Amino acid sequence: MPIYEYECSGCGHRFEFLVLPSSPTPECPECQEKDLKRLISLCAVSSETTREAHLAKARKKADAIRQDKQHEEHKALHAEHD
Ligand SMILES: [Zn+2]
């Protein structure tokens, strides 16, 4: 099942989105922005354990970004070099 990680172009929030044929267009859970950048395809990872690790890592990253929200300028700078 394809799970994609997206980064919101609006607020920089990163999140995972499970893509099903019936899924609506993904949007940012933080600001409902639909202009998203797809980062990685987690379904390309063969091992279930590795996939779990990737998900945990992605969540940790998202948490870190959330905690880092006061540093908007730094984040914008970082995004440019992505
Ligand atoms: Zn957003």
pLDDT in tens, 14-50: 999 888 888 888 999 999 999 999 986 655 555 566 7
Å from CA of 15 to ligand 1 middle: 10
The structure's pTM equals: 0.46
Q: How many angstroms separate the alpha carbon of residue 30 from the centre of ligand 1?
A: 5
Written as one letter, the residue type at 68 is D
User: 66 CA to middle of ligand 1, Å?
Assistant: 11
The pLDDT of residue 6 is 93
Instruction: Give the whole-angstrom CA distance, residue 2 versus residue 50.
Output: 15
Alpha helices in the chain (DSSP H): 48-67, 72-80
